[in-house]
Amino acid sequence: MNKVMVIGLGDVGGHQLEILARTRNIDRIYAADINEKAALRRVYSARSGAAHLGVYPNIEFVKIDLDDVYGTANALKKFRPDIIMHNATMMSNVEWAHLPNGVPEKLASAGIGNITPCHLTLTYKLMEAVRKAMVDAHVVMSPYPDVVNCVLEKVGLARNLIGLGNLDYITPGLQEAAAHKLGAKITDISVYLVAPYAVLNRLFRFGTAGGLPYHLRIHMKEKDVTDRLNPKDLFAEVGKYLSLFTIYDLGYVAASSGVKNALAILNDTRQLTHAPGPLGLPGGYPIRLGARGAEVALPEGISLREAVQTNEQALIGDGIEKIRDDGTIVFTEQCYTTWKEIFNYDCKELKIEDCEKKAKELLSLHSQLGAR
């Protein structure tokens, strides 16, 4: 059976549920959330919408509290999903985007890395539950996989873990722009992009990579044609569309990216695609994705070591200086001082064992600033 559990039915998870409900080769969908009333609204919406298209999904609500690791593990053992779509976070990007007086822009300029404990805490607990349950599910996750997955790999909790979205927001646009410039069919174009979220963030804001390193190769019918194109022109073309988006507009695109990853695994398609945080690596990579999970698929001339180093260097744009071998995140001086100035949040280094405490501290400071 193809069984998918969607954990966290907010913006991204709610869209995932709607898409999966309309997908005919999914045998059972578990809609998991701590908020039963809100989740049941999502379930009814997905069932009804799918029925209008002649699809009648088998959806079951499951109440899950990720703070309860043992309870989550028991639910995973009971239902044994093949895919877990994980979307739960303690503070989404939408929430800090509500802050007034240019604060979100100041944070983005300094690097958003200090929000990591809010994304890491529940993912850490989920992966602990997956390990305790001894299930073989693949976990497709949305909360800052470029960094969170790398931290979890350092402590042995990144098995079958892969991200969604981020650089995957722009690869279809790059594919279309390249096809247009080459006079080719979109389906003949393959994109190979090595970049973290920080590059995407600059594309949103400036229409360029903002000086951050990346690798971009374009193939047409499996032949490298990058020399016939200007990567900066392709980024500029995509950047024109990204400038029309706000943080509130990306939920459906992120959900589609995640469902695409789930279906590639379930159907063992070995699809060439992109994902952040595959195999616990920092940043984003082109991959082949199938039943065994992700395999990094780099074009000729780019080694895995070079790709990892490029992502690590570009993470500076998110305010992350390094991720140590024990999973400790060291933030740049600019990121540290800016978040301290705005929130009075004092975090130069984040150890994984402190992530929940620091997340709760940041949430409290965020609420105080919002109230002021």
Local confidence pLDDT in tens for the 372 residues of the chain: 799 999 999 999 999 999 999 999 899 999 999 999 999 999 999 999 999 999 999 999 999 999 999 999 999 999 999 999 999 999 887 776 677 778 888 888 899 999 999 999 999 999 999 999 999 999 999 999 999 999 999 999 999 999 999 999 999 999 999 999 999 999 999 999 999 999 998 988 888 899 999 999 999 999 999 999 999 999 999 988 877 877 677 899 999 999 999 999 999 999 999 999 999 999 999 999 999 999 999 999 999 999 999 999 999 999 999 999 999 999 999 999 999 999 999 999 999 999 999 999 999 998 887 666
End-to-end CA distance of the chain: 52
Supply 40's token pair.
């049941």
Q: What is the DSSP string of 110-149?
A: H-GGGGHHHHHHHHHHHHHHHHHHT---EEEE-S-HHHHH
Distance, in Å, from the CA atom of 66 to the CA atom of 88, rounded to the nearest integer, reads 9
**Structure confidence at residue 370 (pLDDT):** 67
Q: What is the pLDDT of residues 278-323, one digit of tens each?
A: 999 999 999 999 999 999 999 999 999 999 999 999 999 999 999 9
Q: What is the pLDDT of residue 45?
A: 97
Q: Which residues of 39-62 are buried (b: 16+ CB within 10 A; e: fewer)?
A: beebbeebbeebeeeeeebebebb
**Domain at 3-163, CATH from 3.90.79.10, 3.30.70.260, 3.40.50.510, 3.40.50.720:** 3.40.50.720
Q: What is the pLDDT of residue 371?
A: 63
Which of 369, 24, 315, 363 lies closest to 148 in space, CA to CA? Answer: 315
**299-318 burial string, b = 16+ CB within 10 Å, else e?**
beebeeeebbebbbebbbbb
What residue spans in the chain does CATH classification 3.90.110.10 cover? 168-315
Q: pTM score > 0.85 for this model?
A: yes
Residue 105 pLDDT? 85
Query: Could you give the CA distance from residue 264 to residue 142 in angstroms, rounded to a whole number?
Result: 17
* Element of type H or E holding 103: helix 103-110
210-246 per-residue burial string, b: 16 or more CB within 10 A, e: under 16: eebbbbbbbbbeeeebbeebebeebbebbbeebeeee
CA dihedral of 118, 123, 126, 132, whole degrees rounded to 10 = -120
* Closest C-alpha among 310, 311, 322 to residue 277: 311
Per-residue model confidence (pLDDT) at position 246: 73
Mind listing the pLDDT tens digit for each residue in 332-351?
999 999 999 999 999 999 99
The CA distance from 66 to 186, in Å, is 41
Residues of the chain with CATH 3.40.50.720: 3-163
For the domain spanning 168-315, the CATH number is 3.90.110.10
Amino acid identity at 255: A
Q: Amino acid identity of 326?
A: D
Q: Interhelix angle for 11-21 vs 251-266, to 10°? A: 50
Distances (CA, A) of 112 to 154, 198, 202, 357, 369: 21, 9, 12, 18, 17
Q: Are the C-beta atoms of residues 272 and 95 closer than 8 Å to each other?
A: no
